[in-house]
Amino acid sequence: MRIVVGITGGIAAYKAPELVRLLKKQGHEVRCAATEHALEFVTRTTLETVSQNPLYCDLFASGRTEHISLKDWGEMLVVAPATANIIGKVASGIADDALSTLLLAFSGKPVVMAPAMNCEMWAHPAVQRNIETLKGWGIRMVGPEEGELACGVSGVGRMAEPDQIAAAICSSQQPAVSGQRWLVTAGPTYERIDSVRFIGNYSSGKMGFALAQALADVGAEVELVTGPTALDVSSYQHIKIHRVESAREMYAAATELFPQCQGAILSAAVADYRPAETADHKLKKNGTEGMTLELVQNPDILATLGGMKTDGQTLVGFALETDNEEANAQHKLEKKNLDYIVLNSLRDKGAGFGVDTNKVTILGRDGSRTESPLMSKQDIAKLIVQEVTS
């Protein structure tokens, strides 16, 4: 992996070169990014020598947007030590130096932090609130440990040892889904009225296809059941695509595939109702009278899979809401026997149907709650996959 090691200004920074050395020994490529204060504790020469790469510490030095190129280069960002200051900055969205700017740019990719500070600082409600915020965004914390601190007192605040941090990085590298088969549903369903008309919705399939690709990228075998979409499927790789049109066809495909799968993420916008009768010709206008269409209910695919689910299978649903969002999503999570539900609200600008971005809250059956900022659907998909498979 290409790993960026971020170093901030705490005494534990003296252990950062050892972490870099261990990561290099494990075969990773490493580049370092440090705050100005970190360089009070560890030198540029040391970091450049152990990483065998130039150090990034000055936002303006190169005159280029290095925080973006480093973000594009890195597959993971590890901040060790992470001071109360950098934790607070990221939680508040502050980007005022090289490392904090890189951290904000790194959204959608895995970030690990190894906090280190005095025990009173660690226990401060502001720090604890910030830690919860970062965890809620999917940032993984390693430590801190309990022990003797540099200030002479004992308590919780000591940075985890470099070998523990390296081991945590190594374990997060092994995707739990590698080799597993996952089912994904995407797109809208079309419910035929006659040979030229249907009841449909605005789903483009972008969210579901991004999920399928994110699962395939971490080694899963993906069965994607999709309603009609205009997406160019040639840009999606290692995904088996099953095309369907109606909710009943999607139901048939999903219920057949699910028993062979370790997990399923149902992001399709399935029509709850279909016309009771379908004409096999084009219905003609009949005088000036209006027309009444009788609708009957479609099967609920997600609830059916919830009923079929066995131990060891993970079932993830979506909830598209416009009001009482979280309460409604929580109700669906329980009623449909899900492990996770991904809530997106049409009240959030840039979220939901058709657009390239989304903003979600992932609620777990175990009470976990992860809220994302507005991100590309690809980055949202990676976050969902990371959340539901770890």
Interface region with ligand PMT, contact rule CB under 6 A, candidates 26-34, 84-92, 164-172, 314-322: 314-322
Strands 198-199 and 191-192: antiparallel
Bond from prior residue into 144 cis (ω within 30 degrees of 0)? yes
- Dihedrals phi, psi of 244, to nearest 5 degrees: -135, 170
Radius of gyration, alpha carbons of the chain: 25
For ligand PMT, which is the closer residue by CB, 205 or 263? 205
Q: Examine residue 112 and tell whether it contacts ligand PMT (CB under 6 A).
A: no
Residue 267 to residue 357: CA distance in whole angstroms: 15
Interface region with ligand PMT, contact rule CB under 6 A, candidates 25-33, 64-72, 75-83, 205-213: 205-213
Closest CB 240 distance from ligand PMT, rounded Å: 19
Catalytic site positions: 151
Binds ligand PMT (CB under 6 A): choice among 13, 211, 301, 384: 301
Binds ligand PMT (CB under 6 A): choice among 34, 215, 264, 320: 320
Q: Examine residue 207 and tell whether it contacts ligand PMT (CB under 6 A).
A: yes
Q: Examine residue 183 and tell whether it contacts ligand PMT (CB under 6 A).
A: no
Binds ligand PMT (CB under 6 A): choice among 205, 306, 382, 386: 205
Closest CB 301 distance from ligand PMT, rounded Å: 3
For ligand PMT, which is the closer residue by CB, 90 or 207? 207
What is the total count of residues that contact ligand PMT (CB under 6 A)?
Answer: 28
Dihedral angle sign, alpha carbons of residues 145, 149, 153, 157? negative
Dihedral angle sign, alpha carbons of residues 74, 98, 13, 10? negative
Q: Examine residue 33 and tell whether it contacts ligand PMT (CB under 6 A).
A: no
Q: Examine residue 9 and tell whether it contacts ligand PMT (CB under 6 A).
A: no
DSSP per position, 325-347? HHHHHHHHHHHTT-SEEEEEETT
Residue 113's SS3 state is strand
Angle at which helices 98-105 and 84-92 cross, to 10°: 50
Closest CB 195 distance from ligand PMT, rounded Å: 24
In this structure, what token pair is assigned to residue 236? 């999606």
In this structure, what token pair is assigned to residue 306? 């919830």
Residue 196 to residue 283: CA distance in whole angstroms: 9
Q: Examine residue 67 and tell whether it contacts ligand PMT (CB under 6 A).
A: no
- Dihedrals phi, psi of 226, to nearest 5 degrees: -125, 140
Q: Examine residue 227 and tell whether it contacts ligand PMT (CB under 6 A).
A: no
For ligand PMT, which is the closer residue by CB, 137 or 353? 353
Q: Examine residue 226 and tell whether it contacts ligand PMT (CB under 6 A).
A: no
Beta carbons of 6 and 103 less than 8 angstroms apart: yes
Q: Examine residue 78 and tell whether it contacts ligand PMT (CB under 6 A).
A: no
Binds ligand PMT (CB under 6 A): choice among 194, 217, 300, 326: 300
Q: Examine residue 203 and tell whether it contacts ligand PMT (CB under 6 A).
A: yes
Binds ligand PMT (CB under 6 A): choice among 74, 223, 352, 383: 352
- Dihedrals phi, psi of 145, to nearest 5 degrees: -100, 165
Residue 368's SS3 state is coil
Binds ligand PMT (CB under 6 A): choice among 5, 169, 268, 333: 268
Interface region with ligand PMT, contact rule CB under 6 A, candidates 98-106, 151-159, 256-264, 295-303: 295-303
* Burial of residue 341, with CB atoms counted within 10 A of its CB: 0-12 exposed, 13-18 middle, 19 or more buried: buried
Residue 142 to residue 114: CA distance in whole angstroms: 5
Binding site for ligand PMT (CB under 6 A): 185, 187, 203-208, 247, 266-270, 272, 298, 300-302, 317-320, 332, 344, 352-354
